[in-house]
Every structure is written in structure tokens, then in C-alpha cells.
């Protein structure tokens, strides 16, 4: 089930988000943590994986984005 754009305060560890990019690539991310940097700006640490219909999924990798950038990219939360 898909829900609308998440609010910044709703991004929590364990949440899963997806977005479909051009050429039928699906990005799936799992939030690992949300923590502020030294300047107090919240950042999301997440595990990113790509799925393409024509081949096996790529290995997941950990990344970090500022919370504001994360919520712009990953607007759809996947509910289990």
C-alpha cells in the first residue's frame, strides 16, 4: 500500500520508501537513522537498492542525505 508524501517528522528508522526513475528503475530505501550533524541539520542515513526488470538487483549501499533533500526525493512511503 502506498501513502502520500511523508512529513519530515514522519521519517523514522525502519521506514521504507520507493521511487520509480526513468527506464523502469525502482529505488527502494530503508531509513537506518535520522541524526543532526554538527550544525544541527538533520540527516537521514539510509540503505539504497536498485531494481531493474531486465536484470538482477544491484547490491544495496548505505548513503546519507539532509532530511530536506531526502523528503524531496523519496515522497512515497511503503507500508508493510
pLDDT tens track for 4-32: 444 456 899 999 999 988 878 889 999 99
**Which domain does 54 fall in, by range?**
2-78
Beta strands 61-66 and 42-51 are: antiparallel
> Which residue, among 49, 46, 16, 18, has the nearest Cα to 33 in the 3D structure?
46
Phi, psi of 9 (to 5 degrees): -70, -10
In total, how many domains does the chain have? 1
- Grid cell listed for 36: 543532526
> Quick check: pTM over 0.85?
no
Q: How far is CA 69 from the centre of its chain?
A: 10
Amino acid at each position: 500500500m502506498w501513502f502520500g508524501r511523508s512529513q519530515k517528522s514522519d521519517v523514522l528508522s525502519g521506514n521504507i520508501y520507493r521511487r520509480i526513475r526513468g527506464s523502469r528503475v525502482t529505488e527502494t530505501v530503508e531509513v537506518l537513522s535520522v541524526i543532526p550533524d554538527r550544525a544541527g541539520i538533520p540527516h537521514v542515513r539510509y540503505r539504497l537498492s536498485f531494481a531493474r526488470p531486465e536484470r538482477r538487483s544491484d547490491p544495496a549501499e548505505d548513503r546519507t542525505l539532509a532530511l530536506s533533500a531526502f523528503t524531496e526525493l523519496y515522497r512515497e512511503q511503503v507500508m508493510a
